[in-house]
Amino acid sequence: MYNDAIAPPLPMTLRPATTERRWVRWALIGVAVLFLLIFLLMPLVIVFFEAFSRGAGYFLESITEKDALAAIRLTLIVAAISVPANLVFGVAAAWAIAKFEFKGKSFLITLIDLPFSVSPVTSGLIYVLIFGAQGWLGPTLQEHGIQIIFAVPGIVLATIFVTFPFVARELIPIMQEQGTRDEEAALSLGASGWRTFFRVTLPNIKWALLYGVLLCNARAMGEFGAVSVVSGKIRGQTNTMPLHVEILYNEYLGVAAFAVASLLALLAMITLAAKTGLEWRYADEIAAQRKH
């Protein structure tokens, strides 16, 4: 029979070094879940709750009203231009950084991150400074009847600027890791540059590219700060969905504002679902690509 009083105390080191005490574990998980609920899930639920607070009829009316439809159309147009543009720029920049050695490379990488580190309002102001009526190029452009600021081109430019890093940032690490061996092999087998790109490079980066495009699209449709500076907020003409939401809200049309906002929230959820779905559906293929 063992006597509790003489049994030596269990040494602390019996517990694996990385395992916390049970209550610490539960506390950490609890804090994380609570945080997610309050700051992420609750706002999302409230958006939809508010949007339908006056019934489905009012909701439909709010999103099919003339100015709302114009805002939705403009948002789609802006995304339809800026996402493909950033797709091309992003691939080109990632290609240059990953596959060539040149001076100023690290500077270029920093530059690509610039839109992430600058406040979107500042980026918008820069465009006003360059293209605005009092700006550097403004008078010249006006002479030729080209309007950029307070017009669609300005909104597109600002959106491209703000969403530039998404595609490039996704691609650079994976392209750097893959190196140029596959491309060299394709060239030595007689393939042209284009064929090499479309048949070898593109399949190697397609998942990263798709993520980048999804994220880029979500941000392009949701961008507020930079667009708000350059748009001029002309109803039915230069209002994107986020701007339209703000205007409605400022006019005390809270429920209508939430109705349009819920569309944006829906977009975000679809983006996330698509990303997760892709990851799940093609897990094997993605893993295989990372492996080799």
Partner 1 sequence: MEAAFADATFPTVIEPDPPAPRQWSRGVPVDVTIEHVVKAFAETPALHDVSLKIEAGELVALLGPSGSGKTTLLRVLAGLEFPTSGRVLFGGEDALGLSVQERHIGFVFQSYALFKSMKVFDNIAFGLTARPARTRPSRAKIRDRVLELLDLVQLTGLENRYPTQLSGGQRQRVALARALAIEPRILLLDEPFGALDAKVRRDLRRWLREIHEQTGHTTVFVTHDQEEAVELADRIVVLNRGKIEQIGSPDEIYDRPASPFVASFIGESSALPVRIEDGRLFLDDRPIEIGATGKDGPRTLVFRPHDVELPGARPGGIAGRIIAERRHGASRRLDVEIGMRRHRIEIDVPANHPRSNKGDRVSVLPTRWWLFDA
* Interface contacts to partner 1, rule CB under 8 A: 181-182, 184-192, 195, 199-200, 203-204, 288-289, 291-292
Asked if 246 and 116 count as a contact pair (C-beta separation under 8 A), the reply is no
For partner 1, which is the closer residue by CB, 99 or 233? 99
- Residues 6+ away with beta carbon under 8 Å from 150: 230, 231, 232, 234, 238
Report, in Å, the least distance between residue 24 CB and partner 1.
Answer: 41
Helix axis angle for 120-131 and 152-178, nearest 10°, is 120
Report, in Å, the least distance between residue 206 CB and partner 1.
Answer: 8
Report CA-CA distances (Å) from 18 to 22, 25, 32: 12, 11, 19
Strand, helix or coil at 208?
Answer: helix
For partner 1, which is the closer residue by CB, 147 or 204? 204
What sign has the CA pseudo-torsion 107, 111, 113, 116? positive
Report, in Å, the least distance between residue 200 CB and partner 1.
Answer: 6
Please name the residue that has the structure tokens 């205007």.
Answer: 247
Report, in Å, the least distance between residue 199 CB and partner 1.
Answer: 8
For partner 1, which is the closer residue by CB, 37 or 185? 185
Report, in Å, the least distance between residue 191 CB and partner 1.
Answer: 4
Report, in Å, the least distance between residue 192 CB and partner 1.
Answer: 7
For partner 1, which is the closer residue by CB, 157 or 186? 186
Both structure tokens of 32 = 């994380």
3-state secondary structure 257-274: HHHHHHHHHHHHHHHHHH
- Residues 6+ away with beta carbon under 8 Å from 171: 90, 91, 94, 98, 205, 208, 209, 212
For partner 1, which is the closer residue by CB, 140 or 180? 180
For partner 1, which is the closer residue by CB, 237 or 289? 289
Longest dimension (CA), the chain: 102
